[in-house]
Amino acid sequence: MKHRYKPYSYERPKRPLFLKLIRRLAVLSLLFLSFYALLISIGGRHQLEGLESLKFIPAEGEYNLKVKEGKIKSAKLYVEQEGKSYKVFEGNFPDGTDSLKMSINAKALGIKEGDAKVKLWVSAGFLREREYTIDAKVDLTPPSLEILSYPTSLREGSVGVLRVKSDGVEVSLEWDGKKVLMTPVSPEGYVALFPAPLDAESIDLRITAKDQAGNSAQRTLRIAIKRANFKKERIDLTDDFINSVIYPLLGEQAKGLDPVSAFKMVNEEWRKRDVNKLSEITQKSEPVKLWKGAFLQLPNSKVISTYGIDRLYYYKGQQVSQSRHMGYDFASVERAPVPASNDGVVVFVGTLGIYGNVVLIDHGLGLFSLYGHLSEISVKEGQYVKKGDIIGRTGRTGLALGDHLHFGIVVHGQEVDPIYWLDPKWLKTNIDTAFEK
């Protein structure tokens, strides 16, 4: 009798469908998280700029951090010292932010001078958190600030020098909404030029010294301004002048303008625009003193107009406009060679409206010389020139009645009286000695 045996076979029990689904979802989730973590590790994490400022903790100050990429949703800042933790900042930003501005008052928090650690947590969303731990130094002592010398009064249109002493790392001077950094001339000595404004009784100066931690000390000064009693000058406008100078200057803008409207556009609108442009150009200056001694006048020239003259313009017997002359006009022969009045760097070459063809030279520390109405220019921007180097020739470009040189001195964007800078005795006594160590 034959026996037949069926071969043995194993059949795996079938798993429920929902288990398969869970398994697949788990695998997909793992892959997604791995991919997301990879993205974060290769650049998806945010970077903060300005973290070096957290190395110092002042008595009172402010931290400003910028987010380099993306936006952050929340942040916390703590200071740890001697086993204690002090909360400085905690904030949420539902819409995200690309900057963090955090104020600190170490004295109020009870933080002491010495070593500390700053801990900063920032989050840009799910799995995008980052912690920074920075060794810091707590400095609660403001820098020293001593006024050494300053003029108690100035004639309007002149220039003063302020000297101070401070152990801070930065000392600034502010007046009339303008701020300039004072120049170090010795380990703790700082100086700065400042112009005396026109038509003012005084000028208020504010000096601020800051240390590395951000602590500050301030002093204020009020400088009296003496009136200069500038002359008045009447100028009668002719149709020949309007037709030969004003209309050509305006070009297409002159269409439809009567003589008075055309002149007012140049003398008032253009003047305001050009003065603003001049101030803009002279905002940045070399941080060192480049000039040496008194400034040069145009050789063999006659002074035909001075600084501060109040010019009243008349057309057919009626006053139609007014302006203040803000420089010196020198006349020599036509197309006379114009020398650089002192050592410096050429910062502007070109046309500047009422000034015509212009060269501007930076002599350092906010001091500039201006040469206007030129018929020819022989220097380039960025070129270093020495006193006496020829930079161009006189002319009648811009708003000029004839061939001459408009010579101006600009200090921190404001045109001042050039007469002082042409005087070696005044310059030595009132300006240059302040820069001696």
Each residue of 334-345: pLDDT tens digit?
A: 999 999 999 999
Look at strands 216-226 and 153-155 and give their pairing: parallel
Residue 356 has a pLDDT of 96
DSSP code of residue 223: E
For residue 42, what pLDDT band results from cuts at 50, 70 and 90? Answer: very low
Residue 27 has a pLDDT of 66
Nearest of 134, 118, 117, 142 to residue 58 by alpha carbon = 142
DSSP code of residue 436: -
CA distance 58 to 209: 14
| Residue range 225-271, pLDDT digits in tens | 999 989 999 999 999 999 999 999 999 999 999 999 999 999 999 99
Nearest of 385, 308, 310, 311 to residue 341 by alpha carbon = 385
Output the CA–CA distances (angstroms, integers) from residue 315 to 118, 237, 239, 246, 383, in the order listed.
Answer: 72, 5, 9, 14, 43
HSE (side-chain half, CA atoms, 13 Å) at 424: 6
Residue 43 has a pLDDT of 42
CATH 2.70.50.50 in the chain, residue ranges? 48-138
CATH 2.60.40.10 in the chain, residue ranges? 146-226
In this predicted structure, which of 3-12, 150-159, 238-247, 279-288 has the lowest mean pLDDT? 3-12
Residue type, 50: G
Domain 48-138 matching CATH 3.50.50.60: the answer reads: no
DSSP code of residue 315: E
Q: What CATH number should be reported for the domain whose range is 232-435?
A: 2.70.70.10
CA distance 275 to 264: 15
Residue 17 has a pLDDT of 64
Residue 138 has a pLDDT of 94
Q: Are 123 and 76 in contact (CB under 8 A)?
A: no
CATH 2.70.70.10 in the chain, residue ranges? 232-435
Domain 146-226 matching CATH 2.60.40.10: the answer reads: yes
Residue 436 has a pLDDT of 75
For residue 348, what pLDDT band results from cuts at 50, 70 and 90? Answer: very high
Residue 265 has a pLDDT of 96
Taking residues 293-303, report their average pLDDT.
Answer: 96
Which has the higher per-residue pLDDT, 37 or 274? 274
Within 10 Å of residue 25's Cβ, how many Cβ atoms?
Answer: 10
CA distance 287 to 162: 16
Residue 3 has a pLDDT of 52
Give me the percent of the chain exceeding a pLDDT of 70. 90
